[in-house]
Structure 1
């Protein structure tokens, strides 16, 4: 069964199709939760909550082709709510591991943490989750050109951060 048919059946109320759908997108949703929440326990909790929320509201999805986008949006909203509730960003074990595997992993995490939450989300969606600009635009209900310009501005900010850091290291 192809993904479109699976999406259509899940929206129609087929529980087996819904479980298969969540299994299909579990890894991407978990990666997104880890990227935002920086903690494996919180990310697993987020996945459970998103599964529950999706199950309760799946009948409201109008276009089966955008079901993955809809799930990602639910995860982003949950993570935002969780971060607002805690009012702090903490680097967890996932970042420590990434920092030891990649020489610049901690620096990248630090640079991203300096960005506003909306810009962090944009970078995570585009570069860590491989979400297409078209799909980001659909999620945010904004034109693709706006997504591109925001992405360009955010990347320029990140380049500036690393340029300043490099200049400070050479002094």
Structure 2
């Protein structure tokens, strides 16, 4: 059964079909959540929450062929809201990806520069270079035109270069 048919069956109340749909996307969802939240436990919580939200709102999905981009968007919105909530509670302290994992110092510099970008530019960089999404796929996830995504990507890279130059001058 293809994913479009699984969505139709899941909309009719088949929990097993919904489970199969989510299982197809679970690794991608986890990687995205980990990229945003930088913590394994928080990433798992985000995937769980996004899955619950998708389950309760499945009846609102208009085009079954877009289930993958729809659930990714739900996850990204949850992650962004979680990051905003954290910022309100405490100041952000950059944590390396994964607990106990050795991280290359250049990667820390790049991630710090990405953190300084506007959230929409962070999304574009993350989806394009960490998740290997195409411009068209990013446009679908964000609900924007391809040309808008290209412009945002250009601006994001320009801002990233600027932040990296400033970092290098400070050394």
- Structure 1 equivalent of residue 150 of structure 2: 148
Give the equivalent residue in structure 1 for 2:26: 26
Task: Give the TM-score normalised by structure 2.
Answer: 0.86
**Which deviates the most, 79-88 or 48-57?**
79-88
Structure 2 gap segments, 5+ residues each: none
Map 1:1-171 → 2, pairs under 5 A = 1-87=1-87, 88-92=91-95, 94=97, 100-169=102-171
Instruction: Tell me the TM-score normalized by structure 1.
Output: 0.86
Cα distance change of structure 1 residues 102 and 6 upon mapping to structure 2, 3 Å threshold = farther
Structure 2 Cα separation of the partners of residues 7 and 128 of structure 1: 27
Q: Is the 8 A contact 2:121 2:155 kept in 1?
A: no
CA RMSD of aligned residues (A): 2.1
3-state secondary structure, aligned to 1:94? coil
Per-residue deviation, 1:41 = 1.3
Alpha-carbon distance in 2 for matches of 1:110, 1:71: 27
What is the alpha-carbon distance in structure 2 between the residues aligned to residue 117 and residue 89 of structure 1? 14
Query: How many residues are aligned here?
Result: 168
